[in-house]
Structure 1
Amino acid sequence: MAGLIDNLKQGDASAFSNMVNTCKDMVYNTAIGILQQAEDAEDVTQEVFIQAYESMSSFKGESSVSTWLYRITVTKSLDHLRRKTRKKRWAKITSLFGLQDAPVPEPADFEHPGVTLANKERSTLLFRAVARLPENQKAVFVLHKLEGLPAKEIAAVMDISLASVEGLMHRAKANLREQLEKYYKS
C-alpha cells in the first residue's frame, strides 16, 4: 500500500485509476446510505475522488486510504445534506409567501445496492427512519450497519472518540426503535 500512496503522491494516473476502481463502490454505498438519492450519491462520489486527487500530496498516511476516503465521503455527504436542507427551507418559505408556485418535492424512494427485493418494504421504512436521524447518528449508523466498519475505525473516520461513536450508535438505535415501533404496532 505504501507504494500505491507514493505513486499517488507523484501524480501517477494509473495508480489513481486503480484507487478509484478499488474504492468507488465503498464510497458510493456510504454516500447513498447517508443521502438516499442515487444522483446525489453519484455527485458526492465524484467530489470525493476529485478532493482525494487534489489533496493526495497532503495525505500523511496516519490512517489507511480507505479510512481517509470514508472521512471525505462522510464530510461531503453531510455537507450535501446541509445544502439541500437550506434549499428546501428557502423553497418552502418562498412558496408560503407566494414567491414560487411550485410545491416542495418529497424525496423519492431509493434503492440501496445491498437490499434484496424481498426486503424492499422493510428497508424502505428503515431508510426513511434513518433519514430522520441527526447527522452524526446517521453517519455512525451507516458506517457501522451498512458498511460494516468497527467502532474504532468509525472513530477515526469521524475524528471522534470511541465513546462518542458508541453513544451515537446507541442513540441512533433508540431513535430508530422508537420510529419503527410506531409502524409495527399499527
Structure 2
Amino acid sequence: MPPPTPLSDEDLLAALRAGQAGAFEQLVKQYGARVLNTCLGLVPQRADAEDLTQEVFVEVYTQLASFRGEAKLSTWVYRIAVNKCLEWQRHRKRQKRFAFITSLFGADSNEPTHDPPDYEHPGVLAERREQAALLLQAVARLPERQQAAFTLFHLEGLPHSEIAAALELSTGAVESLLHRAKGTLRQQLGAYYRDFVAG
C-alpha cells in the first residue's frame, strides 16, 4: 500500500486546527525527519538530537493555538527546532563553565563526562563521517546565528528566504551570516571544508 500523499502546509494546518484525527501524526511524519536532521546539525549527540526533536513537536502541539500563520507552517517548525537547539547549547555551556569553576576550587564536580560527537547526519556518506565530524566541531564554534544559517542552508537545503523567515531576519542578513560562516570555516578547516561543502 503506497504511503499517503503529504498534505500542503495549508491543509495540514487546517486539519490540526480542526482537531482532525491523525492530523498531528501526519505532521510528525512529514516533518519529523527534517527536524531531526536540523537538530543533528546543531547538537553533537544523536540521543540529544532525538530528545530535542520530541521537545520540538511537544512545543508545536502546545503552541499551535497561538500560531497566527504569518510564516509557513514548515518555517515555524524549523524556527522552534533551531531555538530549542540553541537553548540546549547555551545550557550545556553554562554546565561546563560551572564545572570548570568548581574544579578551580578543588571540589569534586558532578558534571557527567560527555562522549565525543557522533556525527551521523543521514545526508552524510559513511566514508565522509570523519570529515563531517571535523566540520560539526568547527560549526559548533561559530556564533549562534551563523550556526543556524549554515545548518539550514547546507544540511537542510533551505533557500535563503525560508532561512530568513525561520530566523526572523532579512534575506540580506542571512547571506551575510552564511558568508561570514564560510569564511571562518574555510580558514579553520582548509581542504576539509572544500571537500565537504560545495561552493
TM-score, length of structure 1 as denominator length: 0.91
Alignment pair present for 1:143 and 2:152: yes
Contact 1:34-1:138 within 8 A present in 2 as well: yes
Question: What is the alpha-carbon distance in structure 2 between the residues aligned to residue 157 and residue 80 of structure 1?
Answer: 18
Q: Which residue number corresponds to residue 160 of structure 1?
A: 169
Identity percentage of aligned residues: 48
Alpha carbons of structure 1 residues 98 and 9: separation in structure 2 relative to 1, 3 Å: same
Alpha carbons of structure 1 residues 9 and 177: separation in structure 2 relative to 1, 3 Å: same
Deviation string, structure 1 residues 154-185 (Cα, Å, up to 9, x no partner) = 0000001111101100000011011113989x
Contact 1:91-1:104 within 8 A present in 2 as well: no
The structural deviation recorded for 1:135 is 0.7
Question: What is the alpha-carbon distance in structure 2 between the residues aligned to residue 106 and residue 20 of structure 1?
Answer: 29
Q: Which residue number corresponds to residue 17 of structure 1?
A: 25
Contact 2:43-2:85 within 8 A present in 1 as well: yes
The structural deviation recorded for 1:3 is 3.2
Contact 1:95-1:103 within 8 A present in 2 as well: no
Which segments of 5 or more consecutive residues in structure 2 lack a partner in the other structure?
Answer: 1-7, 194-199
Alignment pair present for 1:8 and 2:25: no
Deviation string, structure 1 residues 100-150 (Cα, Å, up to 9, x no partner) = 256774551212221111112211211111111111100000000000001
Q: Which residue, 63, 70, 87 being the options, matches 1:55?
A: 63
Question: What is the alpha-carbon distance in structure 2 between the residues aligned to residue 83 and residue 106 of structure 1?
Answer: 14
- One-letter identity of the residue aligned with 1:54: T
- CA RMSD, 1 decimal: 1.9
Q: The residue matched to 1:19 in structure 2 has which SS?
A: helix
- One-letter identity of the residue aligned with 1:74: V
Superposition map of 1:84-163 within 5 A: 84-101=92-109, 105=113, 107-110=115-118, 111-163=120-172
Moved more, 171-180 or 117-126: 117-126
Q: Deviation above 2 Å: which 4+ runs of structure 1?
A: 1-4, 10-13, 101-107, 181-184
Question: What is the alpha-carbon distance in structure 1 between the residues aligned to residue 53 and residue 136 of structure 2?
Answer: 20
Deviation string, structure 1 residues 52-76 (Cα, Å, up to 9, x no partner) = 0011112222222111100000011
Q: Which residue number corresponds to residue 39 of structure 1?
A: 47
Contact 1:95-1:102 within 8 A present in 2 as well: no
Which segments of 5 or more consecutive residues in structure 1 lack a partner in the other structure?
Answer: none
Higher helix share: 1
- One-letter identity of the residue aligned with 2:158: L
TM-score, length of structure 2 as denominator length: 0.86
Contact 2:32-2:53 within 8 A present in 1 as well: yes
Alpha carbons of structure 1 residues 174 and 104: separation in structure 2 relative to 1, 3 Å: farther
Alpha carbons of structure 1 residues 176 and 12: separation in structure 2 relative to 1, 3 Å: same
Question: What is the alpha-carbon distance in structure 1 between the residues aligned to residue 90 and residue 17 of structure 2?
Answer: 31
